[in-house]
């Protein structure tokens, strides 16, 4: 039996189990989230819900907060034969934690400065109330403190335990629901603090993942903890050859893809922001499922490179698109009833927005297997230029389309920019790379 056939089974097994776990998670979380959203809107109003969506979207603007070190950690752990004792893994994790602690301190300092100088509302637009500046600062501090905890989730992915990492997320939605319910029961004026609840629930999931990672890598993370504050005696490893290109991507992509709410807050009526936030919440269930299944391919492709196995991602990309569109169609069919229940009849999602989000799902689904194939140094470096081009393209299209199409306009700007600058360009590079690697395999060079 060929190595490629075995690799295909590994791919489908990893993606299948991860997707099933994610679908189950999103089903449970989606149901709990629906009740949470209904509780927020009925108890605190649509303005509080819009503000909550705006503040929680800041985490989408800051995926680069770990400075790209997660990419190095996943790749090194996935390629290691014995990560619990591997000195390269230990030194990589030392560097990762040290860099992330710098990021944590920086985010906290910036959050405090924005609050002291009253810059949150000028930055985020009229959807922010004056009373929300202190909660915004606290939310960002909680987010920053959770960054080192999130290293555990990266370790689990590198170990091929993506399903377990997803299972940890089951605590997020119930925790959020309990905190909102408690605030309502106590009649607490918590409308501006809802985002803090969300960031706290995610930090709890991160802590659970770090604890599990420490057990699986025992005694590796214990050694890292003891050596963390002794950089001269226990130096880390140079990881910026992978982390650097990933960092550039993680800075550029949020500018291109996660500024939608901010642009709508500045350029469109408040109803458009509410519609977008609710639409993104619903279709986010599918987008997160696609992302989780895609990340499960990262260690598979990393092991392929370590063993000189050549396997193109085309079939996985087609399967992802088909599955994503099927889920999107199902969501579109039930959306009138779901949206009516969630918003207590106060919000409707137009057909144009549903179609736009379905197209977004298709493009995102096509992109993920391609991106996971390109997680080596060459692939990561190549992606920088197209992503840099995508930023002004996306923002320029959004500025033109939002006044015409409203919330759907910013989604379509994402579809066009991502389709051109990530799907098509990455597919071109992968085709050439696969041919090159197969020639090398045939000649033995």
pLDDT in tens, 54-97: 888 788 767 667 777 777 788 788 778 888 989 988 988 998 89
Tokens 């392929």 belong to which residue? 304
- Reported as a pLDDT band with limits 50, 70 and 90, residue 114 is very high
Cα gap 369→33, rounded to integer Å: 28
Task: Supply angle C-alpha 169, 172, 177, rounded to 5.
Answer: 150
388-414 mean pLDDT: 93
Cα gap 116→134, rounded to integer Å: 9
pLDDT at 192: 84
pLDDT at 14: 61
Q: How many residues does the chain have?
A: 445
- Is the model's pLDDT at 243 over the cut of 70? no
3-state secondary structure the chain: CCHHHHHHHHHHHHHHHHHHHHHHHHHHHHHHHHHHHHHHHHHHCHHHHHHHHHHHCHHHHCHHHHCCHHHHHHHHHHHCCCCCCCHHHHHHHHHHHHHHHHHHHHHHHHHHHHHHCCCHHHHHCCCCCHHHHHHHHHHHHHHHHHHHHCHHHHHHHHCCCHHHHHHHHHHHHHHHHHHHHHHHHCCCCCHHHHHHHHHHHHHHHHHHHHHHHHHHCCCHHHHHHHHCCCCCCCCCCCCHHHHHHHHHHHHHHHHHHCCHHHHHHHHCCHHHHHHHHHHHHHHHHHHHHHHHHHHCHHHHHHHHHHCCCCCCCHHHHHHHHHHHHHHHHHHHHHHHHHHHHHCCCCCCCCHHHHHHHHHHHHHHHHHHHHHHHCCCHHHHHHCHHHHHHHHHHHHHHHHHHHHHHCHHHHHHHHHHHHHHHHHHHHHHHHHHHHHHHHHHHHHCC
**What is the value of pTM for the model shown?**
0.69
- Is the model's pLDDT at 6 over the cut of 60? no
Cα gap 408→240, rounded to integer Å: 38
pLDDT in tens, 22-66: 767 767 877 888 889 889 988 988 888 888 888 887 887 676 677
pLDDT at 49: 85
- Is the model's pLDDT at 4 over the cut of 60? no
- Is the model's pLDDT at 290 over the cut of 90? no
- Reported as a pLDDT band with limits 50, 70 and 90, residue 154 is confident
pLDDT at 37: 86
């Amino acid at each position: 039996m060929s190595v490629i056939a075995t690799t295909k089974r590994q791919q489908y097994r990893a993606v299948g189990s991860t997707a099933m776990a994610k679908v189950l998670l999103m089903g449970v979380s989606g149901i709990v989230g629906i009740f949470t959203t209904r509780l927020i809107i009925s108890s605190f109003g649509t303005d509080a819900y819009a503000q909550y969506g705006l503040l929680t979207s800041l985490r989408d603007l800051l995926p680069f907060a770990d400075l790209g070190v997660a990419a190095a950690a996943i790749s090194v752990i996935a390629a290691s034969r014995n990560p619990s004792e591997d000195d390269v893994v230990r030194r990589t994790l030392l560097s990762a934690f040290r860099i992330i602690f710098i990021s944590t301190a920086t985010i906290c300092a910036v959050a405090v400065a924005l609050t002291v100088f009253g810059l949150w509302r000028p930055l985020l637009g009229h959807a922010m109330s004056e009373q929300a500046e202190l909660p915004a600062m606290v939310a960002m501090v909680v987010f920053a403190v959770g960054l080192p905890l999130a290293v555990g989730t990266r370790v689990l992915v590198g170990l091929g335990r993506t399903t377990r990492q997803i299972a940890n997320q089951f605590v997020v939605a119930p925790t959020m629901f309990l905190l909102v319910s408690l605030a309502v029961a106590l009649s607490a004026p918590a409308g501006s603090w809802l985002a803090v609840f969300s960031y706290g629930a995610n930090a709890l999931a991160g802590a659970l993942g770090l604890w599990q990672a420490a057990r699986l890598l025992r005694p590796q993370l214990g050694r890292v903890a003891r050596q963390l504050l002794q950089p001269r005696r226990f130096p880390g490893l140079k990881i910026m050859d992978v982390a650097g290109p990933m960092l550039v991507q993680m800075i550029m992509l949020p500018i291109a893809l996660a500024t939608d709410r901010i642009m709508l807050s500045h350029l469109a009526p408040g109803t458009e922001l509410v519609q977008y936030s609710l639409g993104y919440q619903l279709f986010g269930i599918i987008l997160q499922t696609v992302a989780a299944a895609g990340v499960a391919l990262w260690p598979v492709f990393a092991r392929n490179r370590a063993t000189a196995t050549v396997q193109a991602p085309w079939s996985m990309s087609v399967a992802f698109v088909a599955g994503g569109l099927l889920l999107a169609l199902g969501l579109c069919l039930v959306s009138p009833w779901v949206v009516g229940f969630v918003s207590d009849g106060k919000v409707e999602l137009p057909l144009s927005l549903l179609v736009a989000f379905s197209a977004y799902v298709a493009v995102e689904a096509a992109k993920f297997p391609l991106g996971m194939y390109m997680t080596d140094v060459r692939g990561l470096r190549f992606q920088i230029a197209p992503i840099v081009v995508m930023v002004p393209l996306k923002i320029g299209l959004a500025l033109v389309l939002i006044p015409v199409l409203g919330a759907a306009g910013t989604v379509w700007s994402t579809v066009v920019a991502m389709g051109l600058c990530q799907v098509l360009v990455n597919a071109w590079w992968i085709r050439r790379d696969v041919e090159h690697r197969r020639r090398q395999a045939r000649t033995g060079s």
